[in-house]
Amino acid sequence: MHTASVFVELGSIILVLGLLGRLAARYGFSPIPLYLLGGLAFGHGGLLPLSASGEFVATGAEIGVVLLLLMLGLEYTAADLVTNLKAQYPAGAVDFLFNAVPGAAAALLLGWGPVAAVVLAGVTWISSSGVIAKVLGDLGRLGNRETPVILSILVLEDLAMAVYLPILTALLAGAGLLAGSITLAIALATAGGVLFVALRYGRLISRFVSHKDPEKLLLVVLGLTLLVAGIAQQLQVSAAVGAFLVGIALSGEAAEGAHTLLSPLRDLFAAVFFVFFGLSTNPASIPPVLLPALALAVVTALTKVATGYWAARRAGIAVHGRWRAGGALVARGEFSIVIAGLAVTAGIEPGLGPLATAYVLILVVTGPLAARYTQPAVERLGELGASLRRVPRRKPAAGPPAVPTAGAGAGAGGLLEPDLGPVLEPALALDFEASASRDDPVGGPYRS
């Protein structure tokens, strides 16, 4: 009978997730907040407490984190990471200063102690590369000159995770300074070693893994990833980082194939992870931390805008593009939850999980809006400031008349890929009228 009740519970969770995902797709926002809310509804103090499937969901959540990081690693090649690190490290440093520090300060202000400060620093620091890449595509801004700047900041953050997560794991395990330093040294050596091997022998590794038959490729990649993740966890380096490094080491055909094959698995287990996070949070604990979460969200949204502005200015991009880059970076998402999840599992501070939940809920929803409206809003403000009269002139903001690629090649809106088309369409239509005054890019002289 135990199996039956596990099936019933799992089935109902996954079915509800699917329905929530469809709802999110219809209104064009990321399903992540809905999964979190779904978890809150099922969990302790929620509507339908689960009992039988708890263990499976917990393991599934761990696998979800590993797969999330593996897929992230597959997105990048080792060469990507190294070139970005060389070219953009000041932007990465500013990003860290502007966005990790407020999180740490907030934790200290709340009196949660240094370990929670390190956790919250990570939560506010890492932007959601999944949400942001999707938003840029939907807004038709992938070709913009500020986009490489945005993407390289995301790459640096992801690379920084490979250093940050081991430190966090050591801290959460309550390791002392010496043990922590040893762990960090191991982690850095491993990451450096993997990067070096991937740069030198990436093709050999990929050839070993690569296989024409999808089934074999899936089994080899998944097995290798879980094995490395497990060993990394044994070494106190953090399973997620092990998976990330496997993703980095794979390139070319093997990475392409693995990406296609593992996407559905990632979607399933990552959804389970978000639910699990919601499950381990008591809904009643959220209202008390709502105000701090809101304040933190406002502050760190502004600091992200400043980060993007600074990085784009450094890359020699004009003012419009600087604001666009700033707005695009606001969204936080899956990795803030991954970081908070580690802390919740370790059970350091009861308020941390609810705060992170509320924080991510706010920013994953407002992030895409910030990406869309930061630049027009700033210009509107500038006009208001410039006009000496009390009444602002109703001049259309010269926002980017991005044409949404709704539906067109938008893929099957996966877990980390909300389809923003329907929501943005009206706004974009307005913008398009504003751009009608521009000279028509299509009507150039036609020479045969």
Residues in contact with other proteins, counted by CB under 8 A, come to a total of: 43
Question: 248 to 277, contacts with other proteins by CB under 8 A?
Answer: 256, 259
In the stretch 316-355, what mask flags binding to other proteins with x, by CB under 8 A? -xx-xx--x-------------------------------
CA gyration radius for the chain? 22
Burial (CB < 10 A; 0-12, 13-18, 19+), residue 340, is buried
Q: Which of these segments, 89-97, 117-125, 240-248, 314-322, binds other proteins (CB under 8 A)?
A: 314-322
Q: How far apart are the first and last CA of the chain?
A: 76
Q: Where are the alpha helices (DSSP H) in 280-351?
A: 286-314, 319-328, 334-346
Could you give the CA distance from residue 35 to residue 24 in angstroms, rounded to a whole number?
10
Q: Residue 260 CB, nearest distance to other proteins (Å)?
A: 8
Could you give the CA distance from residue 263 to residue 71 in angstroms, rounded to a whole number?
8
Task: Find the binder of other proteins among 9, 62, 95, 146 (CB under 8 A).
Answer: 146
Q: Residue 140 CB, nearest distance to other proteins (Å)?
A: 3
By C-alpha distance, which of 394, 377, 256, 251 is closest to 326?
A: 377
Task: Find the binder of other proteins among 12, 14, 52, 75 (CB under 8 A).
Answer: 75
Check residue 144 for interaction with other proteins (CB under 8 A): yes
By C-alpha distance, which of 134, 152, 154 is closest to 142?
A: 134
Check residue 380 for interaction with other proteins (CB under 8 A): no
Check residue 128 for interaction with other proteins (CB under 8 A): no
Task: Find the binder of other proteins among 111, 176, 385, 409 (CB under 8 A).
Answer: 409
List all residues 6 or more positions away from 24 whose beta carbon is below 8 Å from its beta carbon.
30, 31, 33, 34, 418
Question: Quick count: other Cβ atoms within 10 Å of Cβ 316?
Answer: 9
List all residues 6 or more positions away from 390 whose beta carbon is below 8 Å from its beta carbon.
none
Check residue 199 for interaction with other proteins (CB under 8 A): no
Check residue 147 for interaction with other proteins (CB under 8 A): yes
Task: Find the binder of other proteins among 53, 127, 128, 129 (CB under 8 A).
Answer: 129
Check residue 383 for interaction with other proteins (CB under 8 A): no
Check residue 443 for interaction with other proteins (CB under 8 A): no
Query: Residues interacting with other proteins, by CB under 8 A?
Result: 75-76, 80, 83-84, 129, 133, 137, 140-148, 151-152, 154-155, 256, 259, 317-318, 320-321, 324, 398, 400-403, 405, 408-410, 435, 438-439, 441-442, 444
